[in-house]
């Protein structure tokens, strides 16, 4: 038996994409416009044939190449149509380029230029916004730093006053020596180059003549006084 031939579906013809707005009449009108200096004829050609085609062309370019995201797109479309009018006489039909191709390219390039300008502007705005944000952060940081510094100064001033009151209380001999050493250190804090726990004990040993164990023992009562003062400071009672 003869094998059945496989049936092949006929290939679909690609429909040619025709524009129904930029016709031969439009092409002829633009060519005639470019070759005449008669203002009245140019006006007639533009109103009757060219302007409707340009309106459609601009809309098609905008939607085809996704220029719809441009800010104030309607305003840009109108500007582009006006611009196309100003370059109509620059079209040279003798170069062999169809008017449709020529004005499609220049329209696309016009919107591409606008899109690039918007991108640059947006980038500058973002960068400017970032700079302003950084300035605000630094400014706020400086303000916070200044505020913290002022608070520290106030705390230190009140603490000096508080410590001087402790000397009026009934203290043991070693406690009084340690308290005097603390006041000496506090009043000369800017002249002290090394300021850590080990260094402070060293300074206090030199000032008081006491050993570390005696200093630690004498500090117990003074530490409690300091803790009470700090609590009152935090709670706003000082």
pLDDT in tens, 54-82: 999 999 999 998 898 888 899 999 999 98
66: left (phi over 0), alpha (psi -120 to 50) or beta: left
Q: Which two tokens stand for residue 183?
A: 């006041």
pLDDT at 97 over 80: yes
Q: Kindly report which listed range (56-70, 85-99, 141-155) carries the lowest average pLDDT score.
A: 141-155
Our CA dihedral for 34, 35, 41, 47, rounded to 10 degrees, sits at -20
CA dihedral sign of residues 96, 101, 107, 111: negative
Looking at residue 59, its pLDDT comes to 93
Q: Which two tokens stand for residue 229?
A: 């003062």
Q: Where residue 190 falls among pLDDT bands split at 50, 70, 90?
A: low
Place of tokens 């000032």: 207
Q: Where residue 182 falls among pLDDT bands split at 50, 70, 90?
A: confident
Looking at residue 213, its pLDDT comes to 85
Q: Give rounded-to-5 percent helix, strand, coil for the chain.
A: 75, 0, 25
Q: Please report which helix (H) or strand (E) contains residue 159, including its range.
A: helix 99-166
Our CA dihedral for 109, 110, 113, 117, rounded to 10 degrees, sits at -160
pLDDT in tens, 124-141: 655 545 544 554 544 455
Looking at residue 109, its pLDDT comes to 92
**Which of 138 and 39 is assigned the larger pLDDT?**
39
Is 84 within 8 Å of 106 (Cβ atoms)? yes
Place of tokens 């305003």: 75
- Rounded to whole angstroms, the Cα distance separating 61 from 57 reads 6
Q: Where residue 50 falls among pLDDT bands split at 50, 70, 90?
A: very high
Read off φ and ψ for residue 230, nearest 5 degrees. -60, -40
Q: What is the DSSP letter of 188?
A: T
- Rounded to whole angstroms, the Cα distance separating 163 from 171 reads 13
CA dihedral sign of residues 32, 36, 42, 44: negative
Is 163 within 8 Å of 186 (Cβ atoms)? yes
What are the domain boundaries of the chain?
Answer: 24-123, 167-234
Is 114 within 8 Å of 76 (Cβ atoms)? yes
Instruction: Calculate the CA 149 to chain-centre distance.
Output: 30
Instruction: Calculate the CA 19 to chain-centre distance.
Output: 44
């Amino acid at each position: 038996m003869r094998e059945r031939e496989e049936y092949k579906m006929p290939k679909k013809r690609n429909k040619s994409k025709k524009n129904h707005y930029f016709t031969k009449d439009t092409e002829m009108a633009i060519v005639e416009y470019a070759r005449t200096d008669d203002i009245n004829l140019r006006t007639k050609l533009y109103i009757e044939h060219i302007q409707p085609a340009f309106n459609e062309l601009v809309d098609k370019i905008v939607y085809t190449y996704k220029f719809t995201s441009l800010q104030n797109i309607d305003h840009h479309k109108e500007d582009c149509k006006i611009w196309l009018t100003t370059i109509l006489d620059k079209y040279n039909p003798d170069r062999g380029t169809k008017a449709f191709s020529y004005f499609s390219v220049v329209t696309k390039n016009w919107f591409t230029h606008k899109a690039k300008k918007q991108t640059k502007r947006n980038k500058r705005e973002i960068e400017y916004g970032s700079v302003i944000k950084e300035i605000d952060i630094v400014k706020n940081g400086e303000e916070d730093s200044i505020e913290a510094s002022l608070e520290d100064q106030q705390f230190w001033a009140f603490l000096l006053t508080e410590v001087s009151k402790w000397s009026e209380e009934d203290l043991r001999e070693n406690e009084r020596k340690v308290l005097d050493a603390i006041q000496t250190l506090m009043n000369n804090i800017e002249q002290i180059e090394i300021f850590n726990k080990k260094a402070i004990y060293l300074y206090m040993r030199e000032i008081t003549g006491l050993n570390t164990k005696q200093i630690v023992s004498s500090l117990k009562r003074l530490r409690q006084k300091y803790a009470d003062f700090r609590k009152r400071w935090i709670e706003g009672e000082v």
